[in-house]
Amino acid sequence: MKTISKMFRAGLGLVLMGACLTAMAAAQCGTPTAKLHKQAWRVGDPTALLTQAADTIEPIVGMWHVTFTAEGNSEGPPDGAPIDNAIVVWHGDGTEIMNSARPPQDGDFCMGVWKKVGPNRYNLNHFAWGGNDTTNAPTGIGNPAGPTRIIEQVTLSADGNSFSGTFWLRATDTAGKPTATIIGTIAGTRITMETTVQDLL
């Protein structure tokens, strides 16, 4: 019995010593010039490679209060007419989502994709995917309406807290036939931890 106990203790000692030596060897593999980077999994990448996420975040990323105002429509809304008032999030992966001030039954959530096109300049291709047409609908819920496409070209301010630019909007019916086109200006103000409801009204 004593022989078995001695053998067990000796084996356990060897295992612990091996673990310590392995940890020491691993610690010495680094060099003084080695740099550590924040990394994240790139979702959807079939090779599941690690990418450096911290170095790729654009300053446009974040939450914004955005207004759309008609301008330059010879047959549409007059200059200065409000077209939309929305909360928008630009994501670091190049996608965007907007909660429009439109009634929910009209389709108040829509999404897009964006691309940087120059210093502090971005283009957005955005789609409102259907909803209901409220014309001639006393209850406020009318016939199904088709998608709307919005193209935005915006420039971010030097301090990164606002942007301005232009938009082009084309509404279609459910078959994709254009029903209305509106152009105008767009303005965004960054939403922060200090933003209040009154700031958005």
pLDDT digits (tens, 9 = 90+) for 94-108: 999 999 887 776 668
Q: Which domain holds residue 111?
A: 62-192
Predicted local confidence at residue 30, as pLDDT: 43
Inside any domain, residue 40? no
The Cα–Cα gap between 91 and 95 comes to 5
Inside any domain, residue 16? no
Domain CATH number, residue 80: 2.40.128.120
- Please count the structural domains in the chain: 1
The Cα–Cα gap between 169 and 78 comes to 15
pLDDT at 17 over 60: no
The better pLDDT of the pair 91, 20 is held by: 91
The better pLDDT of the pair 36, 97 is held by: 97
Inside any domain, residue 56? no
Q: How confident is the model at residue 36 (pLDDT cuts 50, 70, 90)?
A: very low
For residue 70, give the nearest of 56, 57, 55, 80 by alpha carbon. 80
Inside any domain, residue 103? yes
Inside any domain, residue 18? no
